[in-house]
Structure 1
Amino acid sequence: MGDARGPSAAVAAVAALFVNAFVWGVSWWPLRELHALGLHPLWSTALVYSVSMLIVLAARPGAVRAFAREPLLWLLVAACGVTNVGFNWGVTVGDVVRVVLLFYLMPAWSVLLAWPMLGERPTRPRLARLALALAGVAIVLRPDDVPWPVPRGLADWLALSGGFSFALTNILLRRLQRLPTESRILAMFGGGAALAAIAGCVGIAHGVAQAPAGTAWAPLALGLGVAFLASNVCLQYGAARLPAHTTALVMLSEVVFASFSSVALGAGELTPKTVLGAALILAAAAWAAWPARDGDCAQGAQSAP
């Protein structure tokens, strides 16, 4: 991935990445509004990604051919689906700051997944980043009344599973980089749509999700879909013109956007314990994104989720 050419091109690329991070950082608000209007976040996800998937199919119908010869694309479908289900549902029902922080354990999970899937042995810096991130999550997770850091509800589990799947998604994208871009994008959108719809049906059957009610949510759902599509265009523009480590560092601003917007609107809380844990998690993520030396390859970041 080459550097941006010229100062103006670099500024435009960074600005595009900030737009992408902002859209995902504040996406919790429209998802909660849609939920209040009768559209569960699982159905919001299924609807938005179905529209995106259909647009890709209309523009590049040949994108489906790769699925017949590359089984790992189906694993990418599943990983992207779990990522989006975990993130979108988690920020709707949980403390947004806490969910986003737990989700951004992605660089730590990447250390564990890169060895079996990419043959990248954990180096000392990578193990140090893993320890730093896990120390941060232990601080965030540990309740005041128990000695061990344990997830305290559905939102925590959704965030952790989504972050792990996000790491798997990034690993798979590296494994599948030889495939046409449209096939990988189709797998990502298709996974988001299919897994959310399946989870929605299962959730209705078990009483943990509701079927869509009314149509008052339609305009906002359409607007959110357009915003997600625009943010992905911004990601493709910015990431194609900047080094991977720069992209990863800029994308950490998503945590800032999510934290400040949720605290300002009463959907998140910044306790001293959360701030300390956040500092460790973000330090590990920034360290992972920093230009590497001595063979410790920097990890690029894809857009969440």
Structure 2
Amino acid sequence: MPALALVFNAFVWGVSWFPFRQIASHGLHPVWATALIYVLIFVAMGWLRRHAWQAFSVHPALVLLGLAAGLTNLCFNWAVTAGDVVRVVLLFYLMPLWSVLLAWIFLGERPTPAVLARVALALVGVAVVLKTPEVDWPVPASLADWLGVTAGFSFSVTNILLRRLRAAAAESRALAVFGGCALVAGATALAGTALGAIAAPPPLAAAPGWLGWAALLGAGFVFANFCLQYGAARLTASATAVIMLSEVLFASVSSVALGAGTMDTRIWIGGGLIVLAALWSSFARTPNGEDDRRTSLLKDMP
């Protein structure tokens, strides 16, 4: 049951691109959709778990945690709506690279030869994914590519902050995540609309079709979070991380089947290298023998 719960969580995130695209087809930009969904979740949790607010006075860094998690959700949801889903998900899973750099800078964890080998493997993989006949250099070539890379980077920042905030209650960290998602997406939506870069939400009476998809996404995110909490608490951190990589499978199969992604030889090779680096990182051990991902965002983020 714990493994099945984690697979369901990975499934929800792996296919979330489809509801977001359906919402966009009804005129609601994914940034606005993200903001509305998380505002409702945050308000509900903030009311039902009011005691979780107390930790913010003791751990002010929870605010930074929320901002990092909010940027992760904003960029990922926007990217899978705007670009090739397979490319976005693979670029998102460059976490081993970012985690090594951030842990070195902020936690003083010098990379070992094995760590550097994982980084090199991930870099080769992303170079293979990004180097197409149309581009001269293997760099992100679209807004969706940049959003995918940014989402993976901010995801790693969130992991680092969670390791620093391990003393905070899980409910308080979850509340910070939900609040950060609502704040970052909401501020981006308002600013983007004011600048003319993001379309304003259509009147509900004129385009009610997005409401049902938004409700489905919100319910899916909440239920997936419960499944994540249940599964991650009962399995080792390395097993959790490996199972969550099934998100790549769900996203790839669903997007290719529905015409939202492509899988050619280059993607297979580059994606395989990126996933292999992530798997290698999942089983890595810290000097004291604990799993590197023991305090991973996988335990706290919806």
Quick one: distance in 2 between partners of 1:37 and 1:146?
33
Alignment partner of 2:218 out of 214, 225, 241 = 225
Residue 207 (str. 1) matches residue 202 (str. 2):
no
Secondary structure in 2 aligned to 1:151?
A: coil
The Cα offsets for residues 246-305 of structure 1, whole Å up to 9 and x where unpaired, read as: 000000000000000000000000021111110110000000012538667643243476
Structure 1: gaps of 5 or more residues: 1-11
Alignment partner of 2:92 out of 100, 103, 109 = 103
Aligned amino acid, residue 297 of structure 2: Q
Structure 2: gaps of 5 or more residues: none
Residue 286 (str. 1) matches residue 275 (str. 2):
no
The Cα offsets for residues 197-219 of structure 1, whole Å up to 9 and x where unpaired, read as: 11111211233211111321112
Alignment partner of 1:46 out of 35, 40, 64 = 35
Alignment partner of 1:72 out of 58, 61, 64 = 61
Quick one: distance in 1 between partners of 2:134 and 2:50?
55
* 116-125 or 180-189: bigger deviation: 116-125
Residue 302 (str. 1) matches residue 297 (str. 2):
yes
* 247-256 or 39-48: bigger deviation: 39-48
1:133/1:280 contact within 8 Å kept? yes
Give the share of equivalent positions with the same residue, in percent.
53
Residue 191 (str. 1) matches residue 163 (str. 2):
no
Aligned amino acid, residue 238 of structure 2: H
Quick one: distance in 2 between partners of 1:293 and 1:231?
29
2:23/2:29 contact within 8 Å kept? yes
Alignment partner of 1:141 out of 121, 126, 130 = 130
1:49/1:189 contact within 8 Å kept? yes
Partner of 2:263: 270
1:57/1:186 contact within 8 Å kept? yes
Q: What TM-score does the superposition give when structure 1 sets the normalisation length?
A: 0.92
Quick one: distance in 1 between partners of 2:161 and 2:12?
24
The Cα offsets for residues 177-215 of structure 1, whole Å up to 9 and x where unpaired, read as: 101111101110001111001111121123321111132
Aligned amino acid, residue 231 of structure 2: G
Secondary structure in 2 aligned to 1:149?
A: coil
Partner of 1:162: 151
CA-CA distance at 1:174 after TM superposition: 1.4
CA-CA distance at 1:70 after TM superposition: 2.3
2:73/2:151 contact within 8 Å kept? yes
Partner of 1:34: 23
CA-CA distance at 1:65 after TM superposition: 2.3
Partner of 2:164: 175
Aligned amino acid, residue 271 of structure 2: A
Q: What is the count of residue pairs matched by the alignment?
A: 294
Partner of 1:6: none
Secondary structure in 1 aligned to 2:297?
A: coil
Pairwise mapping of residues 84-123 of structure 1 onto structure 2 (< 5 A)?
Answer: 84-123=73-112
Q: What TM-score does the superposition give when structure 2 sets the normalisation length?
A: 0.93
Aligned amino acid, residue 193 of structure 1: A
Aligned amino acid, residue 275 of structure 1: W
The Cα offsets for residues 112-138 of structure 1, whole Å up to 9 and x where unpaired, read as: 111222232211111111111111111
User: What is the root-mean-square deviation in Å for CA atoms of aligned residues?
Assistant: 1.6
Quick one: distance in 2 between partners of 1:286 and 1:188?
25
Quick one: distance in 1 between partners of 2:241 and 2:106?
21
Quick one: distance in 1 between partners of 2:289 and 2:96?
14
